[in-house]
Structures are given as C-alpha cells and as structure tokens.
Amino acid sequence: MASWRLAKSIQRLRDEIESVHRGTTFWTIGDEAHQSTWSDHNPSECCDVVCAGDVKGNGGLNLPNFVNHLITNPHPNLRYVIYNRKIYQRKNGWRTENYSGRNAHADHVHVSVGNGPDGRSTSNYDSTASWGIADISSNPPPKPSVPASNWTQEVIMALPTLRKGAKGADVGRLQGLLVANGYKDSAIDHIF
Ligand SMILES: [Zn+2]
C-alpha cells in the first residue's frame, strides 16, 4: 500500500467525537483483527480509501446511545454499524440483526461508509455532513417503558373480588402477584 486516506465522512465522525469526548480511541487502519481479511479498515481496492472507524467508549461516549443515534439519524454515507453482536444495515432498513463474526464488538462500535462490499467500498463516502454527535449527550434516547406483563393482567382478570378477611388460593394468587411485582412486604399466607 503506497498511500491511503480516510473517507472524509469517517474523518468528520472522528473529529466530532474527539471534540465532544476528548481522548476517545478511534481506530481506522491497522487494527490487527481486520488486516488478514477484506475489510473497510483496509484501503479500498479501487481508491485506497479507508471506509471504517472503530469507536470506543473510553472518552465518555455512551456506546448504546451512540448506536441508537446512528441508526435513527443515519449520516448520508453510513452503510452499516456493528455493536455487541448486532449489525444494523442501511440496505435492511437499520433493523437489528444478529452479527456472528469472530469479533463480537462488545467494547467498540464499528462504523462503515460508502457502497459495496468490505474493502471494495465505493463512493459516496466523502460527505462532510454532520454526524450530530454533540446531540447524543444532550438528547439521550428515552428509556423504553416496561409494559405490564400480560400474565399479570390475565391472572388479575381471572380472580373474584377479594375482601379483607378472605382466605384461600385466590388470595394466595394475588399475594404472589404482589411479590412478583416487587412488593416484598407481602407474605404469601393465603389470608387477606
Ligand atoms: Zn471495525
């Protein structure tokens, strides 16, 4: 390899992350895990452009939030993202898919740009549009609300009206639900 350069979109991503989360490890070329195979971390076959970055959370970037941001506000050049045994691809509408590669990507996020297969990616990969990294910490994604479990509702619907002083299996079922839902003071003694 004579000379190579980084895709401008990856360069922009690295600069944005560095400006918000100084000291973040950002691999582009030379990561030993990628050297032996076709990879966007190697200069592309046609143009000697490196089309991928590996981002760690050691500068304070929250990686799950980062991934969520990437796939909900995809940069125009973004092709796919890998993190924690999952891959999210533009061609598949960014849906969550299992990633079974040798490297689980548990401690870093892999970002690839451009079009075409790894190591042979072609443009567009030189968009200098913002990746919106500064928005991630100011707008963390909302925590998904935990839906009431169906079985809880089903059991409650099946119970008769229970009044103080009632005894028996139905009281026990209700007490079991209370305990299962975190009311630790409730004993399951089948007595209301
Ligand atoms: Zn990578």
3 state SS for the chain: CCCCEECHHHHHHHHHHHHHCCCCCEECCCCHHHHCCCCCCCCCCCCCEECEEEEECCCCCCHHHHHHHHHHCCCCCEEEEEECCEEEEHHHCCCCEECCCCCCCCCEEEEEECECCCCCCECCCCCCCCCCCHHHHHCCCCCCCCCCCHHHHHHHHHCCCCCCCCECHHHHHHHHHHHHCCCCCCCCCCEC
Dist. CA 52 → ligand 1 center (Å): 6
Domain boundary among 138, 157, 182: 138
Let me know whether 21 and 56 are in one domain.
Answer: yes
Report pLDDT digits (tens) over 130-175: 999 998 877 766 666 666 566 677 677 778 888 888 888 888 888 8
Amino acid at 184: K
Averaged confidence pLDDT in the chain: 88
Let me know whether 157 and 128 are in one domain.
Answer: no
Let me know whether 188 and 129 are in one domain.
Answer: no
Specify the higher pLDDT residue, 54 or 29.
Answer: 54
Let me know whether 90 and 179 are in one domain.
Answer: no
Report pLDDT digits (tens) over 41-64: 999 988 999 999 999 999 999 999
Let me know whether 117 and 152 are in one domain.
Answer: no
Dist. CA 33 → ligand 1 center (Å): 8
What is residue 143's predicted lDDT score, i.e. its pLDDT? Answer: 65
Dist. CA 151 → ligand 1 center (Å): 42
Let me know whether 96 and 156 are in one domain.
Answer: no
Let me know whether 102 and 64 are in one domain.
Answer: yes
Please provide the size of the chain in residues.
Answer: 192
Q: Does 100 score more than 90 pLDDT?
A: yes
Let me know whether 112 and 176 are in one domain.
Answer: no
Let me know whether 83 and 110 are in one domain.
Answer: yes
Domain boundary among 115, 138, 161: 138
Let me know whether 104 and 34 are in one domain.
Answer: yes
Total count of domains within the chain: 2
Let me know whether 27 and 109 are in one domain.
Answer: yes
Task: Provide the angle, in degrees to the nearest 10, between the axes of the packed helices 150-158 and 169-180.
Answer: 160
Tokens of 106: 């548990």
Dist. CA 154 → ligand 1 center (Å): 46
The percent of residues above 70 in pLDDT, for the chain, comes to 88
Angstrom distance (rounded) from CA 44 to CA 116: 10
Query: Domain span at residue 110?
Result: 5-138
Let me know whether 132 and 53 are in one domain.
Answer: yes
Domain boundary among 100, 116, 138: 138
Dist. CA 106 → ligand 1 center (Å): 11
